[in-house]
Structure 1
Amino acid sequence: MSNVKTLGVLMIVKNEEKHLDKCLSSVSGWVDEIVIVDSGSTDGTLAIAEKYQAIIHQNVEWPGFGKQRQLAQSYMSSDWVLVLDADEFVSPELKVSIQEKVETSSLDSCYQINRLTKAFGKYIHHSGWSPDWIIRLYPREKAAYNDALVHEKVVVAEGLKTKKIEAGVLYHDTYENLHHYINKTTGYLKAWTDQREGKKKSGLGTALLHAIACFMKMYFIKRGFLDGRHGFILAWLGMHSTFVKYIDLWLREQAELNK
């Protein structure tokens, strides 16, 4: 019986034709399977996925990020899971590091990868965005995502160690422009509020305090000022988004009370 461990890529996508080719080309030829769950793409996403011999499933009734990732993992058969988003790609150095972990680790650890994010055309090295250590490589049978609608996390089995892959980064090309930022974050903000409605209280004062704290943390404590004008813009946008989600929560509470 072979002791060679297999590696699979897990992805959930929708209308990602602009980024998907770059993402999949960064793992092409050295992973054993690519499993994609699509939530209803209407562009060329699926054609790109087919070009890389991805195993494609569709689930258009969106259950939230956590459960959609769980569904994708249920279709996988590889020993190791590497989770990627369509707007991310693996650096050559990270590729070597991942291959080394898959070959030498005895499925007793999960690994955090350092993600470096580009926003509005510039890689962000501070602002609380970098370093950005996230669990993205783990044994398929010993870890999986939780049920969160948004900001989902990997739940690690008891006894499993969490380690860092120090060499290489996962590049992340996020917001291209302000319109892209607004469109992308709107869904996240709604999911955040949906998840907390009826469980968490809010108010105008709460919203203001959290918003101001977000700006102070990003721009001063996390040294966003070192990212120049981009750092200020991201801190301001973060403040605005924080205010919106807490006010949305409060408005929903008021609507329920006034029924």
Structure 2
Amino acid sequence: MRLSPANWPTCCPIPGKWPPQVKKTLHGRPGTSRPAPSPPPPVPSSNRPFQEKNSDEFYWLLSLIMSTITIAMIANNEEKNLARSLSSAAWADELIFVDCGSTDGTALAARDFPVKFFSRPNSRAVYINKQFAADQAASDWIFILDADEEISPSLRSEIRRVIAAPKGPAAYELPRKNFYFGRWLRHGGKYPDRQLRLFRRGSARFLPKPVHERLETDGGVGRLKEPLLHYPYTDEEDRRRKLEFYSEILACSYALKNRSRTLILLRPFTRFAGAYFIKLGFLDGWAGLKTALMDFSTVLASALRYRKEPDEEQ
């Protein structure tokens, strides 16, 4: 039977007489049951780390390709601090650890981490062992970390960025936050307490200085913004041990420079006045006072130890 408008099935529209909503459907206009596909949603920035120039992942990849870093540390009887300090350094390409005559569990605690372990006798000339540790490094960059210090995640990210940069200084200094009695000291000369710690291998060496050893570099020195965290004393016993060690070093330093005994005896009082009053240590409250008194006692002990002739032992 030939179909005509008269006998066309009611379930099918007559050709040429499609309802308006069907016409819209066929042309993909609003009201269609099969709308035109919408563009895909943008990829979240968190899934595009390499498009963000400041992303940690971007610079970490560059540092893996372009530069490597060694973190070097020496320690003497620092068992209580090692878990914190070495954990904060575990991201480095190489860890150099030099045990300097420890009598506690320092050496055993260090071996729990992927370190290149060395053992040397302890010396009042701390710079000798620090230079030895730096000399063992095989990476492009070296960071000197003390056993009572910690690298924060934000500092780690900043270090990654600067060593990945194709151009820049050969050495960097950074601020250090000193925590005494559970409090960060902002005054009394304890902050920003800048330290030169990061340098290209071969671009810096430790000066032969018996106390407060520091690095010297021939080139320019850049500055990092993120601070290094410093926890000088774990308890009263640790404080007494370090007071004994550093007061002896200071006494030898005075003797080597042939300092006047009278002036040396005045030094503890000028140190206290400078830190507590001139540098506003009193603004740190009770912690600021106790810290200034500890510095006073260290310098006083060194003055009382002072002898005109330096010890032969180094």
Report the TM-score, using the length of structure 2 for normalisation.
Answer: 0.73
Distance in 2, matches of 1:15 and 1:176, equals 12
User: Does residue 1:13 correspond to 2:70, yes or no?
Assistant: no
Match of 1:192 in 2: 250
Out of 248, 270, 277, which is 1:213 matched to? Answer: 270
SS at match of 2:109: helix
User: Does residue 1:162 correspond to 2:224, yes or no?
Assistant: no
Out of 74, 77, 82, which is 2:135 matched to? Answer: 74
Match of 2:238 in 1: 180
Match of 2:160 in 1: 99
Residues 207 and 89 of structure 1: CA distance in aligned 2, closer, same or farther (over 3 Å): same
Residues 163 and 32 of structure 1: CA distance in aligned 2, closer, same or farther (over 3 Å): same
Residue type at the aligned position of 2:272: F
Distance in 1, matches of 2:137 and 2:229, equals 24
CA deviation string 1:10-67 (max 9, x = no partner): 1001222211111111121x31100111112333323332222100111125362111
Distance in 1, matches of 2:192 and 2:244, equals 25
Distance in 1, matches of 2:124 and 2:239, equals 22
Distance in 1, matches of 2:203 and 2:310, equals 43
Residues 63 and 178 of structure 1: CA distance in aligned 2, closer, same or farther (over 3 Å): closer
Match of 1:117 in 2: 178
Distance in 2, matches of 1:103 and 1:208, equals 49
User: Does residue 1:232 correspond to 2:293, yes or no?
Assistant: no
**By how many angstroms is 1:69 displaced?**
0.7
Could you say which structure has the greater relative contact order, defined with CA pairs below 8 angstroms and 6 or more residues apart? 1
Q: Is the 8 A contact 1:203 1:247 kept in 2?
A: no
Match of 2:46 in 1: none
Residues 179 and 53 of structure 1: CA distance in aligned 2, closer, same or farther (over 3 Å): closer
Residue type at the aligned position of 1:171: L
Q: Is the 8 A contact 2:85 2:148 kept in 1?
A: yes
Q: Is the 8 A contact 1:116 1:172 kept in 2?
A: yes
Out of 148, 151, 160, which is 1:90 matched to? Answer: 151
Distance in 2, matches of 1:17 and 1:235, equals 26
Unmatched 5+ residue regions in structure 1?
none
Residue type at the aligned position of 1:91: S
Residues 99 and 254 of structure 1: CA distance in aligned 2, closer, same or farther (over 3 Å): closer
Q: Is the 8 A contact 2:89 2:151 kept in 1?
A: yes
| Range moving further from structure 2, 33-42 or 235-244 | 235-244
Higher Rg:
2
Residues 106 and 125 of structure 1: CA distance in aligned 2, closer, same or farther (over 3 Å): same
Percent identity of equivalent pairs: 30
Residues 240 and 82 of structure 1: CA distance in aligned 2, closer, same or farther (over 3 Å): same
**By how many angstroms is 1:72 displaced?**
0.9
Distance in 1, matches of 2:302 and 2:126, equals 18
Match of 1:241 in 2: 298
**By how many angstroms is 1:80 displaced?**
0.6
Report the TM-score, using the length of structure 1 for normalisation.
Answer: 0.88
Residues 230 and 104 of structure 1: CA distance in aligned 2, closer, same or farther (over 3 Å): same
Q: Is the 8 A contact 1:112 1:137 kept in 2?
A: yes
Unmatched 5+ residue regions in structure 2?
1-63
Distance in 1, matches of 2:160 and 2:309, equals 53
